[in-house]
Amino acid sequence: MSNTLTIRLTDEEEKWLRAMAKKTGKTRSFIVHQQLLLARSSQRFRHLVGYIKDAPEDLSTRKGFSRE
């Protein structure tokens, strides 16, 4: 199944997108699609960032480690 999405870009974003398309030889649509997939895949592991087993949820609550 294929769906179409229309988005508005700033001049700076459009310039970047055109430059990337020219540099890679890929279409602008392909580049946007790849970036969307990349963003989606990085979200799958976001809940693990900074995770330490058996540590307090907020490590800043541990006292005694400050050098003030």
> Is the sign of the CA dihedral 41, 47, 51, 53 positive or negative?
negative
Q: What pLDDT score was predicted for residue 40? A: 83
Is 68 part of a structural domain of the chain?
no
Domain that holds residue 29: 1-44
**Structure-block tokens of residue 58:** 């907020």
pLDDT of residue 68: 54
The pLDDT score that the predictor gives to residue 31 is: 95
Q: Determine the pLDDT at residue 2.
A: 85
Looking at the 3D structure of the chain, how many domains does it have?
1
Sign of the Cα torsion 29, 34, 37, 38 reads negative
Q: Which residues of the chain have pLDDT under 50?
A: none
Q: HEC string of the chain?
A: CCCCCCCCCCHHHHHHHHHHHHHHCCCHHHHHHHHHHHHHHHHCCHHHCCCCCCCCCCHHHCCCCCCC
Q: Say which CATH number the domain at 33 has.
A: 1.10.1220
